[in-house]
Amino acid sequence: MIYFDYAATTPPYDEVIQTITEVMKRHYGNPSSIHRFGEEAQQLLTKAREVTAAALGVKPEEIIFTSGATESNNLAIKGAAFQYQSRGRHIVTVGTEHPSVLESCLQMRELGCEVTLLPVDREGHIDLNDLLQTVRKDTVLVSIMHVNNETGRVQLLEEIGPALKAHYPRVLLHVDGVQGFGKLPVDLKRWQADLYSLSAHKIRGPKGAGLLYVKEGLELFPLLAGGSQERGLRSGTENIPLLVGMAKAMRMASAQQQQYAEHVSALRDRLLERLSAIPVLEMNSGREAPHIVHVSHPGMKAEVILHSLEEQGFAVSTKSACSSKRPEPSRVLLEMGRDQAQASGGIRISLGAEHTDQDIDRLGEALEQIIHKLKPLERWT
Ligand code: PMP
């Protein structure tokens, strides 16, 4: 079975597994303890913070460790909205964001905030003028993802961030960076991001570890109250093994980013070329993120294609992992102007550095055969 679902999660690097095991065995102290075991754990935590900060080009004090990007996104959005409610109660985000962003915003709407969802065009991009016209004096936060997890479409943060800040210097910019880090260059200073979320398991680190970059000087209302770990922003005993594992994965991913992007984009282009020769398929992704190819077959249910591919030894996905068990069409594709049939027939193929030209060719061939064979039987529109 060949795994083509790297946007859902990735196999951890061997070095990460070894590091985590080693830390679990040898350094089980609580970093808040003041004996030697605690100090050892504290040193590991400090080092992990330095490494993750260096990978992002920020200061170690600006890193808040979390359990993953769902938590980071919740903390960024709700923490900023609660903290800065005296500035205003308007939040702006995009209709194609990850549920952890959208649902956090919608919870804030229940609590009295006004939330505006920006539309995207058929390529999944927001319009900068649209954003600038939507932001108001009472806007507290704008949350825009770097790379979309379903379609691999990339928002031009190097243009969006500076333009937003030039017009509205006090409005906070949060970026969900989960699908971009290690895949494309990340420049938080240039983007003028105030908050940036990351998850370890998308970059060959462990599940259950993530971080939130919080720009120096910014306050957030903590969502977890307790022992005041992580500068009081995220109480709870730090998961040292996973955080050290995440730091290792981030160091490796950022060192290999360019090489990764060259190799994986070439695989993506090979696959795109092959799939664009199948006339019935519609492309939802472009040559943007290296690792995501997304196509729709409007005459076939995505699950049918997925299960047929699985029988032939390929694991792909229909939508994002968190929503693929729900029967509704993809919200992201509907937002991009696709109709119900197109939004229900989406297949996401996400690539990793281990894949070869041969893997791509075998997958392309299998998909071609399935579409050819199933077409007369499985039409549902
Ligand atoms: N944002 C995006 C863009 C994602 O792809 C994901 C993972 N599906 C998340 C947030 C949530 O990350 P985690 O699994 O670490 O909670």
pLDDT digits (tens, 9 = 90+) for 213-269: 999 999 999 999 999 999 999 999 999 999 999 999 999 999 999 999 999 999 999
Q: Residue 173 to residues 30, 80, 306: CA-CA distances in angstroms?
A: 34, 10, 37
Q: Phi and psi of 379, rounded to 5°?
A: -65, 135
Looking at the structure, tell me whether residues 101 and 231 fall in a common domain: yes
* Same domain for 347 and 324: yes
In a domain, 5, yes or no: no
Q: Verify that 250 and 365 share a domain, yes or no.
A: no
Residues 33, 60: one domain?
Answer: yes
pLDDT value of residue 322: 60
What pLDDT, on a 0 to 100 scale, did the predictor assign at position 252?
Answer: 98
User: Does residue 4 form part of some domain?
Assistant: no
- Asked whether this complex has an ipTM greater than 0.95, the answer is yes
pLDDT tens digits, one per residue of 313-342:
999 998 755 655 666 899 999 999 999 999
CA angle 143, 74, 173 (to 5 degrees): 25
CB of 68 shorter than 6 A to ligand 1: yes
Which residue is listed with tokens 């070894």?
A: 18
CATH number at residue 69: 3.40.640.10
Q: Return the pLDDT at 328.
A: 86
Residues 57 and 170 in one domain: yes
Token pair listed for 347: 């297949």
Cβ partners under 8 Å of residue 339, min gap 6: 298
Confidence band of 92 (pLDDT split at 50, 70, 90):
very high
Q: Is residue 381 part of a domain?
A: no
Among residues 151, 197, 203, the alpha carbon closest in space to that of 177 is found at: 197
Residue range 275-301: mean pLDDT, rounded: 94
Confirm whether 8 is domain-assigned: no
Nearest to 293 by CA among 281, 307, 283, 306: 283
Give a yes or no: residue 312 inside a domain.
yes
Q: How confident is the model at residue 56 (pLDDT cuts 50, 70, 90)?
A: very high
Of 198, 221, 255, the domain-final residue? 255
Q: Do the beta carbons of residue 2 and residue 313 sit within 8 Å?
A: yes
pLDDT beyond 50 at 381: no
- The range of the structural domain enclosing residue 124 comes to 14-255
160/270 same-domain check: no
Ligand 1 atom having least distance to the Cα of 100 = 10
| CATH number of the domain enclosing 328 | 3.90.1150.10
Choose one of 255, 270, 295: the last residue of a domain: 255
At 355, list the tokens: 């894949």
Ligand 1 atom 10: residue of nearest CA: 69
The pLDDT score that the predictor gives to residue 301 is 86
Q: How far is the CA of 129 from the centre of ligand 1 (A)?
A: 28
Which has the closest alpha carbon to 378: 318, 268, 300, 277? 300
- 95/98 Cα distance (integer angstroms): 9
Pocket test for ligand 1, best of 202, 242, 243, 325 (most atoms within 8 A of CB): 202
Is 285 found in the same domain as 270? yes
Ligand 1 pocket, residue 78 CB under 6 Å: no
CA 210 / ligand 1 centre spacing (Å):
10
On whether the CB atoms of residues 182 and 55 are closer than 8 A, the answer is no
Select from 240, 255, 270 the last residue of a domain: 255
Active site residues: 322
Å from CA of 377 to ligand 1 middle? 36
Those residues whose C-beta lies under 8 Å from the C-beta of residue 120, and which sit 6 or more positions away, are: 94, 95, 96, 126, 153, 335, 336
* 3-class DSSP string for 157-181: HHHHHHHHHHHCCCCEEEEECCCCE
| Residues 334 and 354 reside in one and the same domain | yes
> Are residues 233 and 86 both part of a single domain?
yes
Give the pLDDT band (50/70/90) at residue 300. Answer: confident
Residue 306 forms part of a structural domain = yes
Clarify whether residues 32 and 141 are in a common domain. yes
* Position 334 in a domain: yes
Q: Would the CB of 149 count as within 6 Å of ligand 1?
A: yes
Residue 173 pLDDT greater than 80, yes or no: yes
pTM of the model: 0.96
Q: Are residues 64 and 75 in the same domain?
A: yes
Q: Are residues 111 and 250 in the same domain?
A: yes
The reply to whether ligand 1 has any atom less than 6 angstroms from the CB of 342 is: no
Tally of domains in the chain: 2
Looking at ligand 1, which atom is closest to the CA of residue 207? 15
d(CA 159, CA 167): 13
Measured from the CB, is residue 70 less than 6 Å from ligand 1? yes
Q: What is the pLDDT of residue 299?
A: 87
Give the mean pLDDT of 192-203. Answer: 98
pLDDT tier, 134 (very low <50, low <70, confident <90, very high otherwise): very high
| 76-90 per-position pLDDT tens digit | 999 999 999 999 999
Q: Is 199 in the pocket of ligand 1 (CB under 6 A)?
A: yes
Residue whose tokens read 């294609």? 305
Task: Answer yes or no: is 106 within a domain.
Answer: yes
Mean pLDDT over 191-220 rounds to 98
Helix, strand, coil percent content, the chain, rounded in steps of 5:
45, 15, 40
- Round to whole Å and give the CA distance between 231 and 254: 26
Write out pLDDT tens, residues 232-247: 999 999 999 999 999 9
